[in-house]
């Protein structure tokens, strides 16, 4: 599986959330919980994956195709998301 992202968005995410899209791939190696992000009409199918990065609960919004995961955002999980993660592992 190949990981892609918009470079300007990566830099903004790093500044805003302190997490680099480059590290998102490591989250997918461990246990995760993924569900469809249907909060808004995005014009594409988006997913929200909850997992751990060095023991810290994180949230990744992304799209998927047959051979790639396109990262849209990457941040520390909220308390609610953390609860959802551990309820589903």
Domains in the chain with CATH codes: 2-87 (3.10.450.530)
Predicted TM-score (pTM) of the model is: 0.91
Mean pLDDT over each residue of the chain, to the nearest integer: 95
Scanning the structure block, which residue is given the tokens 């953390």?
A: 82
Backbone angles phi, psi at 28, to 5 degrees: -70, -15
Strand-pairing partners, residue 47, are: 36, 62
Backbone angles phi, psi at 26, to 5 degrees: -65, -30
**Is the CA virtual torsion 50, 46, 72, 21 positive or negative?**
positive
- Mean pLDDT of all residues in 2-29: 97
Residues in the chain: 89
> pLDDT band at 38, cuts 50/70/90?
confident
């Amino acid at each position: 599986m190949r990981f892609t992202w918009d470079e300007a968005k990566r830099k903004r995410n790093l500044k805003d959330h302190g997490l680099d899209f480059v590290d998102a791939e490591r989250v997918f190696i461990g246990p995760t919980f993924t569900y469809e992000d249907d909060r808004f009409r995005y014009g594409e199918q988006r997913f929200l994956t909850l997992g751990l990065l060095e023991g810290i609960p994180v949230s990744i919004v992304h799209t998927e195709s047959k051979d790639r995961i396109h990262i849209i955002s990457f941040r520390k999980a909220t308390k609610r998301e953390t609860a959802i993660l551990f309820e589903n592992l």
